[in-house]
Structure 1
Amino acid sequence: MTTIVTGSNRETIERARRVTAAERFDIGTRFGSVFDSAVGSWMRDVEGRRILDVTAASGALLLGNQHPAVVEAVVRSVRDHGVVYASTITPQRIELAERLCERYPAGEKAVFCKSGSEATTAAIQIARAATGRDLILTAGYHGWFEWQRPYRNMGYDPRTRVANFGYNETALARYLDEFGADVAAVIITPEPAWFDVAYHQRLAELCARHGVLFVIDEVITALRWGPRGLNGSGGVRADMITMSKSLGNGHSIAALLGRADVLDYYDAAGIAGTYNRELTPMFAALAVLDEIADGSVHEHCERMGQALKDGMREVLREVGIPAYVTGPNMMFDVVTPSEQLSWDIYAAAYEHGAWFEDSGTQMVTAAFTQSDVDHALEAFEKGARAVAATTDIEPGELSEELRLGFALDAFGGSPHDTPPVLARIEETVELMARRDPSAGTSATAVTG
């Protein structure tokens, strides 16, 4: 039996630094603990310290760690059924696909993979194969693959044939007017703290008028913008949606749902993968769907999220730190005058036993209790007061300029038609007009 030997947090981080850790992603943007167990929303590090997770493991958890129904489903999967087969089709895959297609209006067929990055990439490859067109228009973060890495920069990348419209409606309308016949799909990640349902409905209608596929990247929002995401709870039409986080309650699974006549092109798009057929996360996902079926999980999470959101807003008001706290209760944003100030507050709160998301988006799980909310707010208040006492902070409301600056830095949001944005739109149109059509896809278009 293998024994995992650990030392202190510092020693374990140094050990990781030598053999596996990225300096920024794994160390620089994290706090000082290495965890080796978790129950519900509480984590325990290698020194035995318990810390409350206020990020839902970056959104991966909906029910919390070691949820009994998910644990039982996973154990039953491995013990009674195995892990993966030679065949790609299993009863569990069929059942999961049927239930997701019943749950989300966009769903007629479903394709499964292991991560959100894979699901969004599958979506654009299928869109290109189904339409025979090469251009992709995008806004927001869709994962770490090459085609979308410049997600913060409005413009056009000739290597990937992807144009980022930065959530700007003027830009999207212009690009579709100029190049709609060559656009395979528009894919957007909802930022519900910044753009409402009506905004997304306008985008969906614009795509429909131009005959362009509209894809909503609901990797996070599918189970956090209400129980059925922007597509279901919000009633926003889509030709395809992606989902992943929370679906398997931490187990690695993602789904692409959409029109059957479009998803039938996934052979032509080359979508494959040995581990896309893995049984264990499908059992976990079916258990999650069972647990949330009666609506009580989302009702509870909404209450806990509302209490946490209101409490954090009040703490910042009392301490005298300008802030913008907004968004759905299950995934709200907290914006302060600077990224550094936010980091300092969350780092100080960590010292009092709560791990907040340093990017500002906080998420609860169904394991949260009122005492957990109270603990998070107590840690947050202690951290905010400690930072405010040693930092020169200008009182008052958070300016619109700072709000827009946060949106631009966090997810490439450039929604206002300022002169620089309008100039960038024109530059992008010129670049797209000069692109080499022969570099595009050679896939056969949909014929009906």
Structure 2
Amino acid sequence: MSIGSQGNEELIERARRVTAAEGYDIGTRFPSVFAEAEGPWMRDVEGKRLLDVTAASGALLLGNRHPGVVRAITEYISRYGTVFASTLSLPRIELAERLCERYPAAEKVVFTKTGSEATTTAIRLARAATGRDLILTSGYHGWHDWHLGFLNLDYDAGNRVACFGYSEAALERMLTEFAGRVAGVVVTPEPAWFDADYYRRLSALCARHGVLFIIDEVITSFRYGPRGLNGTGEVPADLLTMSKGLANGHSIAAIMGRREVLDAYDAAGIAGTYTREVPPMAAALAVLDELEDGSVHEHCTRLGQTLMDGMRDILAEVGIPAFVGGPPMMFDVVVPSEALSWDIYRAAYDYGAYFEDSGTQMIMASYTESDVDHALTAFEKGARKVAATTSLDPGELGADRMAEFAAEAFGGALTDNERVRARIEETVRKIAAHTAA
């Protein structure tokens, strides 16, 4: 039976039987099975057209089927091949050189396939380069075992990882006590919540204690301005990770930074056959060509700002308290509850726009002004529909909801209150006990 002969519900049931995870693939997605996409528009198997306001979770920077990227991929495969016996190829060398030119922290670059692999590689490099074992972390760095406890300010003795919850006080306390054991501090930027000054302070704190500072720029490397937090935000780092947008949806990630840290690659025992796959590197070079004159970021920043301001105005007009903030290419929208957020975006889906229900919205360079108008129209219809049947307290979004969102979304402890201070001391005691043992 061909896919085209079945609708979304039937195909979701087929997927449920043979491949789909109930939560990740079905419960947290809107009910479409997609057949094709071009630019920012997707079409499901029933012919429903939807505007992607997630940029495929950030993977797309230019949009689906971008001509320059398609040409680079197809020409490379047809003329040269896919993967070679050696890890070295001309596109790899050229891509590394161009990333070194683009990002201040980059003296040398190595590649993996995914963001989760990139962050795990960075941790292996830091440990091998320093001979230390303790990792201090904040934010989401992927799905690998070493990072499963990212939402809790706590210490994981098995993986030798302590989460400091974006608390400067917690990081300073941990570095004061254990700097001699710390291989690196790794943090994922949350630019809607912490400005560049915050990350510069973390970087300086690590430098004072002689500890490697790692920025996980898997998402922000092209969305916090054209050169990420490291370049655009002028935040010094010893290592950077990047992935989403680099090859406009094709699977590649980069780890870059100080030469002496990257040169620990062999000692860290890092390997992987598909790190040598060449077409994604050709795609990444095509993306960098598109970004060269700055017009892509200028366009995306302008339209992203229009979308962000429009969503903020709509929520205010329909009486839904909200926080809307962050860089125009990746901004957060927080409303009084997660359930309300889902209801609004589920309603907007019915009107033709596929928003990220968790709240972080991202556009791509293929957006036009009419696409932004479509997104805002769908969002307004959805928000009005939900507001009309929901009892809401008027006024601004409360600090408790902001703190709840930060804790649930990225493990952020926004204030150093009594509970946070108690968690800091308990975490320090756990680390100390493990060290003594």
- Structure 1: 4+ residue segments shifted above 4 A: 2-6
> Could you tell me how far apart the structure 1 residues matched to 2:436 and 2:16 are?
45
Q: Which residue of 1 aligns with 2:176?
A: 177
Q: Which residue of 2 aligns with 1:403?
A: 402
CA RMSD, Structure 1 to Structure 2 (Å): 1.1
> What secondary structure, in the 3-state scheme, does the structure 1 residue paired with 2:434 have?
coil
Structure 2 matches for 1:44-443, cutoff 5 A?
Answer: 44-436=43-435
Q: Which residue of 2 aligns with 1:443?
A: none
1:40–1:65 contact (8 Å) kept in structure 2: yes
> Could you tell me how far apart the structure 2 residues matched to 1:330 and 1:200 are?
19
> What secondary structure, in the 3-state scheme, does the structure 2 residue paired with 1:267 have?
helix
> Could you tell me how far apart the structure 1 residues matched to 2:148 and 2:347 are?
31
Structure 2 matches for 1:34-49, cutoff 5 A?
Answer: 34-49=33-48
2:322–2:396 contact (8 Å) kept in structure 1: yes
1:3 CA displacement: 6.6
Q: CA deviation digits over 1:352-391, x for unaligned, max 9?
A: 0000001100000000011000000000000001101111
2:4–2:45 contact (8 Å) kept in structure 1: no
2:240–2:256 contact (8 Å) kept in structure 1: yes
TM-score (norm 1): 0.96
1:6–1:12 contact (8 Å) kept in structure 2: no
Q: Which residue of 2 aligns with 1:33?
A: 32
> Could you tell me how far apart the structure 2 residues matched to 1:6 and 1:260 are?
55
Seen in structure 2, the aligned counterparts of structure 1 residues 399 and 232 have a Cα distance that, compared at 3 Å, is same
> Could you tell me how far apart the structure 2 residues matched to 1:25 and 1:417 are?
33
> What secondary structure, in the 3-state scheme, does the structure 1 residue paired with 2:415 have?
coil
Q: CA deviation digits over 1:51-103, x for unaligned, max 9?
A: 00000000000000000000000101110111000000001000000000110
> What secondary structure, in the 3-state scheme, does the structure 2 residue paired with 1:215 have?
strand
Q: CA deviation digits over 1:302-358, x for unaligned, max 9?
A: 011000000000000000000000000000000000000000000000000000001
> Could you tell me how far apart the structure 2 residues matched to 1:319 and 1:280 are?
47
2:323–2:335 contact (8 Å) kept in structure 1: yes
1:415 CA displacement: 2.9
2:406–2:414 contact (8 Å) kept in structure 1: no
1:270 CA displacement: 1.1
> Could you tell me how far apart the structure 1 residues matched to 2:182 and 2:31 are?
46
> What secondary structure, in the 3-state scheme, does the structure 1 residue paired with 2:365 have?
coil
Letter in 1 for 2:266: D
> Could you tell me how far apart the structure 2 residues matched to 1:9 and 1:437 are?
57
> Could you tell me how far apart the structure 1 residues matched to 2:253 and 2:3 are?
30
> What secondary structure, in the 3-state scheme, does the structure 1 residue paired with 2:264 have?
helix
1:169–1:415 contact (8 Å) kept in structure 2: no
> Could you tell me how far apart the structure 1 residues matched to 2:435 and 2:273 are?
35
Aligned pair count? 437
> What secondary structure, in the 3-state scheme, does the structure 2 residue paired with 1:428 have?
helix
> Could you tell me how far apart the structure 2 residues matched to 1:5 and 1:435 are?
57
2:115–2:218 contact (8 Å) kept in structure 1: yes
> Could you tell me how far apart the structure 2 residues matched to 1:19 and 1:58 are?
24
> Could you tell me how far apart the structure 2 residues matched to 1:70 and 1:437 are?
54
> What secondary structure, in the 3-state scheme, does the structure 2 residue paired with 1:136 have?
strand
Which structure 1 residue ranges, 5 or more long, are not aligned?
439-448
> Could you tell me how far apart the structure 1 residues matched to 2:183 and 2:363 are?
36
> Could you tell me how far apart the structure 1 residues matched to 2:3 and 2:328 are?
38
> Could you tell me how far apart the structure 2 residues matched to 1:153 and 1:40 are?
38
1:437 CA displacement: 7.0
> Could you tell me how far apart the structure 1 residues matched to 2:307 and 2:396 are?
21
Larger deviation, residues 4-13 vs 318-327? 4-13
Letter in 1 for 2:187: I
Q: CA deviation digits over 1:120-163, x for unaligned, max 9?
A: 00000000000000100000000000111111111000010000
Q: CA deviation digits over 1:176-211, x for unaligned, max 9?
A: 000000000000000000000000000000000000
> Could you tell me how far apart the structure 2 residues matched to 1:386 and 1:437 are?
59
1:106–1:240 contact (8 Å) kept in structure 2: yes
Letter in 2 for 1:61: L
> Could you tell me how far apart the structure 2 residues matched to 1:5 and 1:303 are?
38
1:36 CA displacement: 1.1
2:238–2:258 contact (8 Å) kept in structure 1: yes
1:436 CA displacement: 4.6
> Could you tell me how far apart the structure 2 residues matched to 1:137 and 1:331 are?
25
Letter in 2 for 1:417: D
**How many percent identity over aligned positions?**
67
1:337–1:398 contact (8 Å) kept in structure 2: yes
1:168–1:416 contact (8 Å) kept in structure 2: yes
TM-score (norm 2): 0.99
1:105–1:231 contact (8 Å) kept in structure 2: yes
1:238 CA displacement: 0.1
> Could you tell me how far apart the structure 2 residues matched to 1:5 and 1:268 are?
51
1:350–1:356 contact (8 Å) kept in structure 2: yes
Q: Which residue of 2 aligns with 1:16?
A: 15
Seen in structure 2, the aligned counterparts of structure 1 residues 392 and 374 have a Cα distance that, compared at 3 Å, is same
> Could you tell me how far apart the structure 1 residues matched to 2:292 and 2:42 are?
27
